[in-house]
Structure formats: structure tokens, C-alpha cells
Amino acid sequence: MKFVPNILKAFLINLCFIGIIFASESCPSISPKMAEDAPVEQVKVIINDVICSFIELQSNNSENLSSTLNLTKKKILPYIDLEYFTEMALAGYWDQLELRERKIFERDIKNSLIEEYVGILSNFTDWKDVQITVNEDFSQNENTVKVKISVSLKNENSTTVTLKLIRKNRWKIYDLEYQSISIISMEKMGYDSKIKRQGLEKLIQKMLKRS
């Protein structure tokens, strides 16, 4: 269905918009490990680090699908808690899986994210007329938080994006919500439908053949 890639594109473009304001003012970036260990500060430096890297890629005239893929693996995936993302996406099926099977699903989700986003990242170049506000107030439940970000273009209404983070040894992003729909909720619906049709074992075998 067409609304799924459109929502994913909206997620990504809004995430890119978030970064460009920070990047335009503070490139080169600092490592999140060097920043204050607080959710809002970590969101700022993580996104800034990602966008600064893409700006540098563009300025060197080396932006193409291959270089964008490499940069995504180095600068985006390390900030995502793929294990927790996968656990949430599989919901009740997670406890039925052995460690090896969990890793297979985790790899499948990583590949899915790359396929959805890399092409858009490699083609997106228009960063002007963007205004960003990061809400300093955040909601926290034990080791997870939600940070709201307002994104607006010139003469347009603002859009609110919610980043969800979890802290284990450090803060990492595990989900992104836009207009009450999250990436995890879409992945969850997809896996639930496939598992009900095919069964866990058959789906795992199919994923292994694709890898």
C-alpha cells in the first residue's frame, strides 16, 4: 500500500530536517559520547553528527548510493537499538525465539531500514527554509524516554515528530513516531501478518535464504 512508503519518507525527511539546523550552526559535530548524558542533548548531537556527515559527503561531491549506504551503516545504525527495536516489533513472538533466531530477525529489520531509507538519503539535497524546535521537556518511564521535535517549513504549519530512546549503557533511538504512527507499529503489523500466514519457522527459513 502506498501510504507506508509515504509515511516512511515523511519520517526520514523530518529527521533530516531536524539535523540541518544544528549542522548549519555547529559542524563539525561532536561525538555523542562526549556530550552530556541526557536525552535531549543526546538527540541533538546524534542528529547533528548524522547530518554533518552527509553535508561533508555532499561537499566532497562523493554522494552516491554506495557512499550513502556506507555512511548510513557508520553514522545512523550505531545510534539505533536494533535489538530492542526487533523485540518490540515481534511483540509476543520474541519469547518463542532462540538467540540465533532473534539475530536473524534483527538482521532482517536492519536490511529493511536500509532499503527504505538509503535511496531517499542519497537523493535529498534541499535543506533550506527549515525551522526546528526541540522540546526540552521529555516524558520518561524508567529507562525509556520520548522527545518531541517540532519541524516547520517557511509559510507552513509545524509538524511534530516524537523520537523514542532507551538507555542501556547509553541512550539510543529505538522508534520514531509521526502522526500517531510509528516505525515499530508498521513493522509489528508486517511481521504479525507474515507469521500468521507462514508460521515462524517457515518465515525464518525465507529470511535465511535472502541473506
Which segments in the chain show pLDDT lower than 70?
1-29, 51, 58, 61-65, 119-133, 151-156, 211
pLDDT at 161: 84
Q: 7: which 3 cell numbers?
A: 509515511
- Any idea where the domains of the chain sit in the sequence? 3-210
pLDDT at 17: 47
pLDDT at 84: 96
The answer to whether the CB of 1 falls within 8 A of the CB of 186 is no
The answer to whether the CB of 147 falls within 8 A of the CB of 39 is yes
Instruction: Could you list the beta-strand ranges (E) of the chain.
Output: 130-141, 144-153, 159-167, 171-178, 181-182
> How is domain 3-210 classified at the CATH fold level?
Nuclear Transport Factor 2; Chain: A, (3.10.450)
Distance CA(190)–CA(169), nearest Å, equals 30
pLDDT at 1: 38
The answer to whether the CB of 118 falls within 8 A of the CB of 11 is no
